[in-house]
Amino acid sequence: MPFTLAYGRHGLDLQLPEPVDVIAAPDQPGLPDEAEALRQALRQPIASAPLSARVRPGDRVVIAHSDITRATPNDRILPVLLAELEAAGVRRADITLLNALGTHRPQTPAELRAMLGAAVVENYRCLQHDAYDDANLVALGRTRFGHLVRVNRHFMEADVRLLTGFIEPHFFAGFSGGPKGVLPALAGAESVLTNHGADMIAHPRATWGVIEGNPIWEEMREAALMTRPTFLLNVTLNARRAITGVFAGEMLAAHAAGCAFVRERAMVPVAAPYDVVITSNSGYPLDQNLYQAVKGMSAANRIVRDGGTIIMAAACEDGLPDHGRYAELLKTAGSPQGVLDLLARPGFAAQDQWQVQIQAQIQKRANVLVYSDGLTDAQITAALFTPCRDIAQTVAGLRARLGPQARVCVMPDGPQTIAYLN
């Protein structure tokens, strides 16, 4: 039975003997005219006046956009948004594009041109958020959780603050998009660290598709509201990165409409857990490194049995990565239980601890194998995973050991589909 996993830039073909279940959401068609759909959403937004009525000539406008680790089609969204602003009288010189990196690495000039389009980079002021630059962070106060919120100064000093991005299920924030465009995307490193702290990550409602009662998302909402965002423009995507829906307007109302749209289309029930789950991290740009691939593992973890096996296929052209503390924390801890023990130390806090915590929680109940052309066996082993160089052969070995009753499934689109036990 042939499959194509969303892997890297071109996909990964796979042949497995039946029976194998395929877990994927029904294909959603892309909008026939994306630019027109974007324009109409900006002109007839949700719970807001049209964008043209929210700006005036002379306003300083900052547009926060997703970084290269996200699939947001910035190069298709931003030209429409910029044209609407200029048609409303906003001068090009008064518009700033802000790469909302969170704690991720900055993009290279070539990456920015690929993300935004050459015309945007050449004609507009483009800045990149730095979560570690105290001079460019503004303190807004503390959330009800007691956590200090600091946010990008350029964003806060703007007259008009626009958030853009895309909505998909998220493994601990419930859904991406919406307030996540501020925290973590535009926040100081310490605000990200406290929001993604061990107790917050361990909360039972900090999971896929849950926002209300999820402390991580609720703090994101609180922090975003502190910034008084002017307008939200979020989209939804299919597996081919075509836009399937546009949600614009007041931040919370537009995001809620987008989440409802995604929940109905991306979340798929399954009848019983599987012995083996083969998944991806939705291909490039989402599988650029192993750190990001923990999301796909988390999606598979929802339907693998205790003691089962997850096989993750992620190209990892950016390595583990080398930046951040993901690899360092795994090396220091030495094992999944070691990770959890490390994070339980009083006062311990480190960048990327949230990712290793979720990875360890998964590995405490399932064996995780990694197939990657971008990583050596030594790198995969150092990240506490088992290398896999032939998925079909590995599955055959598991079936031989488990017997003919073994349940096997493939999630070809990775976390673009969120399965759950019905």
Place of tokens 């892309």: 30
Q: What is the DSSP string of 161-213?
A: EEEEEE--EETTTEESSGGGGTTTTTB-HHHHHHHT-HHHHHSTTSSTT--TT
Over the range 386-417, which residues count as b (16 or more CB within 10 Å of their CB) and which as e? ebbeebeebbeebbeeeeeebbbbbbbbbbbb
Same domain, 89 and 237: yes
Q: Which amino acid is at 163?
A: L
CATH number of the domain that 112 lies in? 3.40.50.11440
Which helix (H) or strand (E) segment holds residue 51: the answer is: helix 51-54
Average pLDDT over residues 24-38: 94
Clarify whether residues 10 and 45 are in a common domain: no
pLDDT score at 371: 98
Do 242 and 308 lie in a common domain? no
Cβ neighbours of residue 422 closer than 8 Å, sequence gap 6 or more: 269, 270, 271
Asked if the bond preceding 184 is cis, omega within 30° of 0, the reply is yes
Contacts of residue 37, Cβ cutoff 8 Å, sequence gap at least 6: 31, 243, 246
* pLDDT recorded at residue 14: 96
Q: Are 75 and 176 in the same domain?
A: yes
Q: Give tens-digit pLDDT for 260-276.
A: 999 999 889 999 999 99
228 HSE (CA, 13 A, CB side): 7
> What pLDDT does residue 252 have?
98
What CATH number is given to the structural domain containing 300? 3.90.226.30
DSSP 8-state code for residue 231: E
CA-wise closest residue to 141 among 229, 214, 197, 223: 223
Q: Are residues 404 and 277 in the same domain?
A: yes
pLDDT digits (tens, 9 = 90+) for 311-338: 999 999 999 998 789 999 999 999 999 9
Report the pLDDT averaged over residues 208-235.
97
Residue at token pair 């959403």: 41
User: What range defines the domain where residue 341 resides?
Assistant: 2-25+271-421
Given a cut of 90, whether residue 295 has pLDDT beyond it is yes
- Please give the Cα distance from 391 to 369 (Å, whole number): 9
Q: Which residues are catalytic?
A: 104, 170
Quick one: pLDDT at residue 195?
Answer: 97
Q: Are residues 79 and 94 in the same domain?
A: yes
Q: What is the DSSP letter of 412?
A: T
If pLDDT is split at 50, 70 and 90, which confidence band does 396 have? very high
Q: Are residues 314 and 291 in the same domain?
A: yes
Same domain, 229 and 297: no
Q: Are residues 133 and 71 in the same domain?
A: yes
In this structure, are 117 and 11 located in the same domain?
Answer: no
Q: What's the pLDDT band for 282 if we cut at 50, 70, 90?
A: very high
User: Which of 265, 286, 315 is a domain's end point?
Assistant: 265
Using the 3D structure, point to which of 248, 265, 282 is the last residue of a domain.
Answer: 265
Q: For residue 368, what are the β-bridge partners?
A: 310
Helix%, strand%, coil% for the chain, nearest 5: 35, 25, 40
User: Is the same domain home to 11 and 80?
Assistant: no
Final residue of a structural domain among 240, 265, 290: 265
pTM for the predicted model, two decimal places:
0.88
pLDDT over 90 at 300, yes or no: yes
Split into its structural domains, the chain has a count of 2
For residues 237 and 281, membership in a common domain is answered with no
At 1, the pLDDT band (50, 70, 90 cuts) reads confident
**Percentage, residues of the chain above pLDDT 70:** 100
SS3 273: coil
